[in-house]
Amino acid sequence: MNLNLNNNIIKPLEYTGYSLKILDQRLLPSQEIYLEFTEADEIIKAMKAMIVRGAPAIGLAGAWACCLAAKNPELKDNENQLIEKFEEIKEARPTAVNLSKAIERMKLSLKEKGLNSLEEEAEAIFNEDQEMCQMMAVYGLTLLPNKSEYKFITHCNTGSLATAGIGTALGLIKFLAGQKKKVKVFATETRPYLQGSRLTAWELNKCQIPVTLMPDSATAYLMSKENIDAVFVGADRIVANGDTANKIGTYTLALLAREFKIPFYVVAPSTSIDLSLSSGAEIEIEQRESSELTEFNGLKIAPSGIEVFNPSFDITPGNLITAFITEKGILNIEKLKNIL
């Protein structure tokens, strides 16, 4: 089997110097179409509309949106207005701390080195993310017993579609498969936006790694039937006490993993760690449109006017997380505090 784990087959973003090309993730797996954006405002809309998604990829899109804002004739000679635009970009998706960290870096670069430094800074964020993906996979493998076959559960999409490299949680799984190990991946559908069925299943297919799709609600039954080696998920924000915001449903998976004594790992770069917040209660959780639940492809699947609870993320308490796999090594909650 010839596995291609790199981003030369899956590129969620491509900066051209005058535009940002974004693979429209809303259309996957049916169509692979890139949309081209030249204005920061359009990229803000694209992030909100989930044309690009996944914490590290959102950070990268934000950094390149800053570069394009700095080319806008109305903004480029007015630093205050440009910084205001950077702040607007930062608000596009509030839960993933990678976005605000990327924008803070762009602001610092602008202030310290000027307009011409921005593209170099965005490029550096991209390259660092690619390297961090690789390191997380290398460290992650040290946690696994030496076996001929592994069975994992993963949630949402944390692969190349969500990062500059092979991915975080999914990157680790892909990396292991690349070591000629037999890997069976159970991917949750990830309701309601279906990042699991539309994106993770597509990405694993593309890498020729076997994947079994299941409804989110099948997890307890699966865990009771199969010998699952580990659950690997990503993160949008990990705070000082280890509480972790990630795709809605992650908390349920962590509780089930505890019940079935399955290791539950969060795989995330240090750019997803926010030590300025002491507990998960302080994390802003993005609420999404009710139509994500009440409609399917434009067809009504719930009564009109129904009240909807549709948080995009939940908070998994740090004590349910076996370990954090980062590019700086395997961390527990105590070590997390010393990382940045």
Distance CA 161, CA 158 (A): 7
Q: Is residue 236 flagged as an active site residue? A: yes
Binding footprint of ligand MRU on the chain (CB under 6 A) = 53-56, 96, 156, 158, 162-163, 168, 195, 234-236, 246-247, 312
> Please, how many CA atoms are within 13 Å of residue 275, restricted to the half-sphere of its CB?
9
Nearer to ligand MRU, 178 or 269 (CB): 269
Distance CA 158, CA 230 (A): 16
Distance CA 336, CA 323 (A): 10
Nearest approach, Cβ of residue 154 and ligand MRU (Å): 9
Tokens standing for 330?
């395997």
Nearest approach, Cβ of residue 1 and ligand MRU (Å): 25
Nearer to ligand MRU, 223 or 235 (CB): 235
How far lies 159's CA from each of 9, 56, 163, 204, in Å?
12, 10, 7, 9
Nearest approach, Cβ of residue 47 and ligand MRU (Å): 9
Tokens standing for 130?
């690619």
3-state helix, strand, coil in the chain (%, to 5): 40, 20, 40
Distance CA 248, CA 156 (A): 9
Nearer to ligand MRU, 62 or 234 (CB): 234
Q: Spot the catalytic one: 236, 243, 274, 314.
A: 236
Nearer to ligand MRU, 137 or 162 (CB): 162
- Closest-approach residue to ligand MRU (CB): 234
Nearest approach, Cβ of residue 25 and ligand MRU (Å): 8
Nearer to ligand MRU, 70 or 162 (CB): 162
Nearest approach, Cβ of residue 147 and ligand MRU (Å): 25
Number of H helices, E strands in the chain: 11, 16
Residue numbers annotated as active site: 236
